Structure 1
Amino acid sequence: MTNGHSGGITVHGTVAEGYEGVREEFRAVLAEEHNEPGSQLAVYKDGEPVVDLWAGDGVDGDSLPAVYSCTKGAAHLVVALLVQDGTLELDRTVASYWPEFAAEGKDRLTLRELLGHRAGLIGVKEGFTAEELADDRVLAARLAGRAPFWEPGAAYGYHALVIGALTGEVVLRATGRTLQELFEERVRAPYGLDVFLGQPAGLEPRFLPVRPLNPTPAQAAEMAARPADPESLRAVSFHAHLDLTEWINRPAVRALGQASAGAVASARGLAGMYAATLGEFAGLPALLKPETRAEFARPGLTGTDLVTEQTDHFGLGFERPSEDHPELGTDAYGHCGAAGAQAFADPASGIAYGYTRRRHTYPGGSAPENVRLVRAVVDAARA
């Protein structure tokens, strides 16, 4: 257990015996971080809390940062549950659930392919407004009739801000319930998790506003040397015309709980969500069976992502964190998020991991310090 102070960094929270090195690594990476520290780190091992740490101005263990694409892990946990139940079938076409989706040559795309980011439906060239982007039903309606950016199923590319709207519409058509409603009823409420796909107004005092990137001079120079192409697949997928920091800091956006990037969650909540997929948690049985976990962690399509240029990093709806963290098993599954968040389950070690931070990191996605933190966690777990 401990609060510690070193080099201007005060670390609050507790660690279990044997995880003291994780606390020291957490303090070290925050002390070295260019931006002001404002982070949470939580870890469960076999369903038991072993790390619960936080540091930074205005941050505590109950703070609710925006976790951007970590939202996709919560959303696709719902899809995994529905597949496990037999309500959804991975190799059935999306159009069989959602007839309007069949337009413009998308009639043969399966749910499995959609979950693997293979639809080619990453956005629209003219862009969505901030209000449209916050509403999954609006996104689904606008995208259903659109032509894809590549042949559906033939390649994959990150559908950064719309994948949850697409899979969520399938969920709605199959069940009559929104993905957000099902997450609340089947995951968040029964397990007591601080992960919200739709932030209740009463929790606004706990929200931790996101701060924009504050680049070092070297980072600023690199950014200036690589101007974004507004016509690129990346610009379309990431909605480069919008300020996504300002967007997620709007209460109205967070209230809708957009299923690609609209969740708020503590590190404790993210880690707990993944712990609940691995085994008994909060006195309740595991959410997922081993065969379901394996199915959703398996690579969806090998090769290079047309949007991000990463390789082999998606399973079904979830990312495969072993691509960035080789100390994890290849059957690990989770999702990172802008501002540097990372969350996953690793069946091989029994670890469920959650990390959040309040300021954007460069160049985006999972913050670089997660490499050191994950290694320290796995080393402690194996020791």
Structure 2
Amino acid sequence: MSVHGTVAEGFEGVREEFGAFLAEEPAAPGAQLAAYLDGRPVVDLWSEGVEQDSLTGVYSVTKGAAHLLVALLVQDGVLDLDREVAAYWPEFAAEGKDRLTLRELLAHRAGVISVEDGFTAAELADDRLIAARLAAQKPYWEPGSAHGYHATVIGALTGEVVLRATGRTLQELYEERIRAPHGLELYLGLPAELEPRFRSLLRAEPTPEQLTEFLAQPMPGKDSLFAISFNLRTDLVNFVNERETRAGGSASAGGVGSARGVAGLYAAAISGLGGRGPLLEPETVAEFTTVHYPGTDLVTGSVDNFALGFETSGLSYPFLGPDAFGHCGVSGAQGFADPASGVAYGYTRRRFVFPPSGAAPENDRLAAAVVRAARAAR
């Protein structure tokens, strides 16, 4: 499978690694890989199945964009991490949620991972509807006592806080303060005129061996916290393939973009783009990348995976610095910033990985190649 695009001098090894992966996984069409070093583009590659400017659904990579906006509002003093969510959003106080702070909400400690009968795909595309129903929802555990991944609803929850505090939706402020000024190809609400650039997500094509191994594993029951949080009764593959989802820009999983857009988001956050300074001050980066509540995730079973709104990328990729932060997506997409190396990384693909598990496994080798080249270039 051919590799298209360019790399900066010193990053030729990234192109070679990308080509090697594609040769080994010919059933994974439509991959894009992009990276910045200290705000300078150094990798812009893509494979057959997409073009340079193709846009795809990035699922939970969206959470990184949404929570970068929240971090900015905290940095500005508009939001207070230690203020109760109910102080911004009074209805949220129902069912014992009155003492939960914004800090705890961002760390996935609210306990309202869904509603009793779940959400349909159409409902998951509507953040205001989700927020209204979750405000009245009884938590699945005592708020603030533990954390569990609010996979399909966290953006609606934090988005409602943003709306109540500012009078503007999270999507509007993201467009105004982050996407448009930096020209990022990462949208929370895809404009209709860009629809021709969208490439639909494709289902995974597991080998017989992969399928046999997967089916032999114990499956979460329909009443498990995992099944509840991920709303497994919905067709997540087609979720962002629906125009309604793309237009609404659900802040949990409805984002649409390219690898360049994802990498550019994190470059803007830590290094700045186009002559602009970095969006985040060092103190804000430190606050939002610290694991405030260590322990095991009640939904996924992962350990210390979340800081505030972002995943702790250094735990997934040990070659990153301790304050690396970002978010993956169930389609296999990944995005992160590594202040220690100056790298901002973005990866997207059209075909889901199998078994579905967040960031595609090739990110391990691709991200490592990028960071190696970055350290040698500095």
Give TM class, smaller chain.
Answer: over 0.9
Cα deviation for residue 284 of structure 1 reads 1.4
Counterpart pick for 1:212 among 175, 198, 203: 203
Partner of 1:5: none
* Counterpart-to-counterpart distance in 2, 1:369 and 1:174: 40
Q: Which one-letter code corresponds to 2:78 in the other structure?
A: T
User: Is 1:245 aligned to residue 237 of structure 2?
Assistant: yes
The match for 1:93 is 84
Query: Among 25, 32, 42, which residue is 1:50 paired with?
Result: 42
Q: Which residue of 1 aligns with 2:364?
A: 371
TM-score (norm. length: structure 1): 0.96
1:17 corresponds to 2:33: no
Question: Aligned letter for 2:167?
Answer: G
The residue aligned with 2:103 is 112
Give, as a single letter, the amino acid of the residue that structure 1 aligns with 2:125. A
CA distance in 2, matches of 1:190, 1:246: 31
Cα-to-partner distance string for 1:189-248 (whole Å, 9 max, x where unaligned)? 000000100011111111110011211212211332233311110001111001111221
Conserved 8 A contact 1:36-1:56: no
User: Does residue 67 of structure 1 match 2:40?
Assistant: no
Q: What 5-or-longer segments of structure 1 have no aligned partner?
A: 1-8
3-state DSSP of counterpart to 2:2:
strand
> TM-score scaled to structure 2, two decimals?
0.97
Equivalence map 1:341-352=2 (5 Å):
341-352=333-344
1:233 aligns with 2:225: yes
Q: Structure 1 34/230 Cα, relative in aligned 2: closer, same or farther at 3 Å?
A: farther
Cα deviations across residues 128-170 of structure 1 (Å, max 9, x unaligned)?
1221111000000000011100111111110000000000000
Please list, as runs of the form range in 1=range in 2, the aligned pairs for 1:1-383 lying within 5 A after superposition.
9-33=1-25, 35-57=27-49, 59-225=50-216, 226-363=218-355, 364-383=357-376
- The gaps in structure 2 that reach 5 residues or longer are none
Percent of pairs with identical residues: 65
- The answer to whether the 8 Å contact 2:325/2:338 transfers is yes
Are the equivalent residues in 2 in contact too, given 1:94–1:111 (CA < 8 A)? Answer: yes
Report SS of the residue matched to 2:148: coil
1:35, distance to aligned residue in structure 2 (A): 2.4
CA contact (8 A) 1:125 1:231 kept: no
Letter in 1 for 2:200: P
**Secondary structure, aligned partner of 2:31:** strand
Q: Is the 8 A contact 2:89 2:164 kept in 1?
A: yes
1:253 CA displacement: 1.1
Distance 1:280-1:36 versus aligned 2 partners, 3 A rule: closer
Deviation at 1:343, TM superposition (A): 0.3
CA contact (8 A) 1:34 1:216 kept: no
How far, CA to CA, are the matches of 1:228 and 1:144 in structure 2? Answer: 26
**Maintained 8 Å contact 1:299/1:314:** yes
Q: CA deviation at 1:372?
A: 0.4
* Backbone CA RMSD of aligned residues: 0.9
Tell me, yes or no, if the aligned pair for 1:97 and 1:174 is still in contact at 8 Å. yes
8 Å CA contact 2:28, 2:349 repeated in 1: no
Separation in 1 of the partners of 2:85 and 2:146? 17
Which 4+ runs in 1 deviate beyond 3 A?
none
In 2, the alpha carbon distance for the partners of 1:69 and 1:273 equals 14
Determine if contact 2:28/2:350 at 8 Å carries over to the other structure. no
Q: Secondary structure at the match of 1:44?
A: strand
Deviations 1:71-101 (A, max 9, x none): 0000001100000000000000000000000
Length, aligned pairs only: 374
Supply the distance in 2 between the matched residues of 1:105 and 1:216 (Cα, whole angstroms). Answer: 47
Amino acid aligned to 2:343: I
Partner Cα separation in structure 1 for residue 221 and residue 203 of structure 2: 21
For residues 34-72 of structure 1, the C-alpha deviation after alignment (integer angstroms, 9 at most, x for no partner) is 623220000000010110000022x01211110000000
Tell me, what secondary structure is at the counterpart of 1:91?
A: coil
Letter in 1 for 2:318: P
Q: Secondary structure at the match of 1:14?
A: strand
